[in-house]
Amino acid sequence: MGQLIALCIGLFQAIAGIKSPGIQAIRYVANMSPARYDVFVVAHEDDWQLFMGDIAAKQVRAGDSVSFVYLTAGDDGRDSLYWRTRERAALRSTRVAIGRDASDSAAVRCSMTTVLNHPIQQCVVANTKSYFLRLPDGKRNGMGFASHDYQSLRKLRSRKILVVNAVDRSAAYNGWEDLTSTISSVIGANSSDRDVVVHSNDPSIAANPHDHFDHRMTGLLVEDLRQRQQWKTQYYVGYALSTRAANRSTEQAREKTAIFLAYDNEMRRVNPKWSAYEEHPGFYSECMLRTYARKARSSNRR
């Protein structure tokens, strides 16, 4: 309980702009020939920070090659100012995960890259790459928003829609197979001969109940990829995380907190009402103390 109170105080101080001596810079260690390639495939721009932030920091800090793949714009049915801010906030988190010791950690190089004829925003920071597909946020129930014709990952996978368009109309994906193949190509193009580990939200309702449908669909996409590739896979608990017992060390909790606050502070900088923490401080504080993951052991389809 004392640890939780201290963390909540630290979160409040950071959001209020008060420097906290408990949150320290994460160190980055260069690795000239990374033998491992980690890919964090998530639905929204703040998912990996909440559910797997300390794991991502560990791999980036070790100098491994790391990619973050964001399937949706996380637009919440809002305009481009909101979702573009979310992208910048995600990159701020990435820079904190890399740490101040990386010589080019502050340099963000973004451009459009083409994967299977789909233009995708790609941003490079030190030993990381971030891919923003900008598909419509599907809403928690997977039914989508009117602003994007109620398109969603859930509807695409269930074939209730045959095409899903990026919110900026930069690309269209003709069915679930097209989307899955595109993500497979993104991962494969960066894997070379390295040991590939893919991280995502757990698609199992039993292991990960009450999760956002975008999270679940992202996990199912990774599960579909696992049927055809030999990549190692690690699944993480999503919204149910706050109900589990705390299992992070003080240092791991500090890492997650620093990474999440980099995202949240950037959102607040543009619009104070966009702070996720201030909407649900209890939930986000609990997430900082927890990371629950399981390794995929079989190829049986759920």
Domain harbouring 167, CATH code: 3.40.50
pLDDT band, residue 131 (cuts 50/70/90): very high
pLDDT band, residue 23 (cuts 50/70/90): very low
pLDDT band, residue 122 (cuts 50/70/90): very high
Task: Establish if 298 belongs to a structural domain.
Answer: no
- Rounded Cα distance, 297 and 251, in Å: 29
Task: Establish if 253 belongs to a structural domain.
Answer: yes
Task: Establish if 157 belongs to a structural domain.
Answer: yes
Q: Under the phi-then-psi rule, with left for phi > 0, alpha for psi from -120 to 50, and beta for the rest, what region is 195?
A: beta
Task: Establish if 244 belongs to a structural domain.
Answer: yes
- Domain containing 200 equals 2-14+35-292
Task: Establish if 20 belongs to a structural domain.
Answer: no
Task: Establish if 45 belongs to a structural domain.
Answer: yes
Task: Establish if 27 belongs to a structural domain.
Answer: no
Task: Establish if 29 belongs to a structural domain.
Answer: no
How large is the average pLDDT for residues 101-130?
A: 88
Q: How many domains does the chain have?
A: 1
pLDDT band, residue 15 (cuts 50/70/90): very low
Residues 225 and 198: beta-carbon distance below 8 Å:
yes
The residue with greater pLDDT, 108 or 101, is: 108
